[in-house]
Chain A
């Protein structure tokens, strides 16, 4: 009797960004001996996304300084990068994916790390606008920089006052552009923070010469010579040589949808990042997953979520039974201000602000639901971020009076309520 050589199992990953790349390396670390194939439509060697709106935009320090992993590391770990290749469909029954050129790649395990793409709002004339870009990829940044390099006048309109819009505003100011931010809500960062934080960032940008306008609903973009005119519903018009759109994202869920996987506000996965098909996992921005700490399903857009879920999926594929239960965290850098956030503030009914006596630019916002601390936003105050992390994890009752009093030394022991 001749023994058949056992074929090595194949793990196919769609999406080679924070989630996909971290997953591939984590899977090797878990001891997976099969093949790992990492597909991405983006032809660039995978890079960090957060700097795109921050230092990579303002300093142009080179994409090579911002790679997720050096090229040799993929070779060394035998992770095969298939860059510039788009996956057009997948078949969970036949267990294969189909590429744009018609090629078919079978898999034993499939990981969807397809992330998200920018949402382009239905504004009249948006498709014909000159020099209008979202900001999600290295190519987007290259386009933006090129317009600024070539143009004599540098009037920029940013549509959307969320993190990406505001970070982009800060970076483009550094490059000497004249920047206007148009936000549809009554305040910037309305979706993600308390009014106190919105006010701080509004003033910060104003102090750096950014014109921030809120309650501005952009309804049309019209050509104006070599530039554009951006029209708002209240009749105001802004000239723009360059327009950057940062109004949110759309999850890349079409492949999963078409393959019949369960979809909610993203691709639904269980605590080990498994989809409704037991050979298919999903990780990162594209997932809708349960957060045990908050007792509900969430969809997150953060490096933390991408990296931690990647590790969970790798452990699950290696036969362990991991549970994804990390407390979410996030950061944003604008000018010389560092914002760090921990937890999920949604559903809060009370906000406490702690201002540090010695430094007015250093403060933190604490979100409570009654006595339960949900989240902390810390501005130039890593200590608040760290204490917040510990207190949310620990679930202890907090003495709010002590917390809000800047003369009380900022220490864990001082913030705990004496009553049990």
Chain B
């Protein structure tokens, strides 16, 4: 179980609890604005872009190679960027804060 906080572009703060699956799926299920997940979570659409709070980066680890490449489609990407369909929910994420990129 992990508590995951999303901060959306319209400055809403939403804290959700997840047990399994991807962070993208949790966000879509709860209608977190700005996370669309159009490709269903296979790292093909880049519509699930978040910025991980710098102090939480160790909880997710860095983006994979394909993720890093795909993130280049978004001008908004930086070293804290992740495609959150590629982040699996586990206890290790507990307390993490993610800012939705778009």
Bound pair: A and B? Answer: yes
Does A143 lie at the interface of the complex (its beta carbon under 8 Å from any beta carbon of B)? Answer: no
With a CB–CB cut-off of 8 A, which chain A residues contact B55?
A: none
Residue of B nearest to A25 (CB): B31
Does A95 lie at the interface of the complex (its beta carbon under 8 Å from any beta carbon of B)? Answer: no
**By CB atoms of chain A within 10 A, which of B29, B38, B45 has the most?**
B38
Complex-state Cα separation, A73 to B72, whole angstroms: 31
Does B87 lie at the interface of the complex (its beta carbon under 8 Å from any beta carbon of A)? Answer: no
Contact in complex: B70, A303 (CB < 8 Å): no
With a CB–CB cut-off of 8 A, which chain B residues contact A227?
A: none
Does A307 lie at the interface of the complex (its beta carbon under 8 Å from any beta carbon of B)? Answer: yes
B68: min CB distance to chain A, Å:
8
Contact in complex: A307, B38 (CB < 8 Å): yes
With a CB–CB cut-off of 8 A, which chain B residues contact A385?
A: 69-70
Complex-state Cα separation, A65 to B85, whole angstroms: 13
Contact in complex: B72, A386 (CB < 8 Å): yes
Contact in complex: B73, A65 (CB < 8 Å): no
Contact in complex: A65, B25 (CB < 8 Å): yes
Contact in complex: B31, A386 (CB < 8 Å): no
Contact in complex: B42, A333 (CB < 8 Å): yes
Contact in complex: A69, B42 (CB < 8 Å): no
Contact in complex: A331, B21 (CB < 8 Å): no
Residue of B nearest to A332 (CB): B44
Q: Mark B23-36, 1 if CB is under 8 A from A, else 0.
A: 00100111100001
A312: min CB distance to chain B, Å:
15
Known: A51-B40, A340-B44. Is A386-B69 also a contact (CB below 8 A)? Answer: yes
Complex-state Cα separation, A385 to B29, whole angstroms: 29
Known: A73-B29, A73-B31. Is A50-B40 also a contact (CB below 8 A)? Answer: yes
Does A174 lie at the interface of the complex (its beta carbon under 8 Å from any beta carbon of B)? Answer: no
Contact in complex: A303, B39 (CB < 8 Å): yes
Known: A303-B39, A304-B38, A331-B39. Is A383-B28 also a contact (CB below 8 A)? Answer: no
With a CB–CB cut-off of 8 A, which chain B residues contact A76?
A: 31
Contact in complex: A331, B42 (CB < 8 Å): yes
Residue of A nearest to B73 (CB): A386
With a CB–CB cut-off of 8 A, which chain A residues contact B39?
A: 50, 303, 331
Does A382 lie at the interface of the complex (its beta carbon under 8 Å from any beta carbon of B)? Answer: yes
Complex-state Cα separation, A50 to B44, whole angstroms: 12
Q: Give residues of chain A (319-334) contacting chain B, Cβ–Cβ below 8 Å.
A: 331, 333
B47: min CB distance to chain A, Å:
8
Does A211 lie at the interface of the complex (its beta carbon under 8 Å from any beta carbon of B)? Answer: no
Q: Mark A43-87, 1 if CB is under 8 A from B, else 0.
A: 000001011000000000000011001100100110000000000
Does A208 lie at the interface of the complex (its beta carbon under 8 Å from any beta carbon of B)? Answer: no
Does A338 lie at the interface of the complex (its beta carbon under 8 Å from any beta carbon of B)? Answer: yes
Contact in complex: A389, B73 (CB < 8 Å): yes
Residue of B nearest to A72 (CB): B29
With a CB–CB cut-off of 8 A, which chain A residues contact B43?
A: 338, 382
B83: min CB distance to chain A, Å:
11
Residue of B nearest to A61 (CB): B21
With a CB–CB cut-off of 8 A, which chain A residues contact B36?
A: 307
Contact in complex: A383, B69 (CB < 8 Å): yes
With a CB–CB cut-off of 8 A, which chain B residues contact A51?
A: 40
Contact in complex: A382, B69 (CB < 8 Å): yes
Complex-state Cα separation, A50 to B31, whole angstroms: 21
With a CB–CB cut-off of 8 A, which chain B residues contact A386?
A: 69-70, 72-73
With a CB–CB cut-off of 8 A, which chain A residues contact B66?
A: 338, 382
Complex-state Cα separation, A50 to B43, whole angstroms: 13
Complex-state Cα separation, A303 to B36, whole angstroms: 12
Of B30, B44, B69, the residue contacting A331 (CB under 8 A) is B44
With a CB–CB cut-off of 8 A, which chain A residues contact B42?
A: 50, 331, 333, 338
Known: A50-B39, A303-B38, A331-B39. Is A70-B29 also a contact (CB below 8 A)? Answer: yes
With a CB–CB cut-off of 8 A, which chain B residues contact A307?
A: 36, 38
Residue of B nearest to A70 (CB): B29
8 pairs of A and B residues whose beta carbons are closest in the complex: A382-B69, A331-B44, A48-B40, A70-B29, A382-B66, A383-B69, A386-B72, A307-B38
> Can you list 6 contacts pairing A with B, beta carbon distance less than 8 Å?
A48-B40, A65-B25, A70-B28, A382-B70, A383-B72, A389-B73
A interface list, Cβ under 8 A from B: 48, 50-51, 65-66, 69-70, 73, 76-77, 303-304, 307, 331, 333, 338, 340, 382-383, 385-386, 389
Given A331-B42, A382-B65, 20 new contacts (CB under 8 A): A48-B40, A50-B39, A65-B21, A66-B40, A70-B28, A70-B29, A73-B29, A303-B38, A303-B45, A307-B38, A331-B44, A333-B42, A338-B42, A338-B43, A338-B66, A382-B69, A383-B69, A385-B69, A386-B69, A386-B73
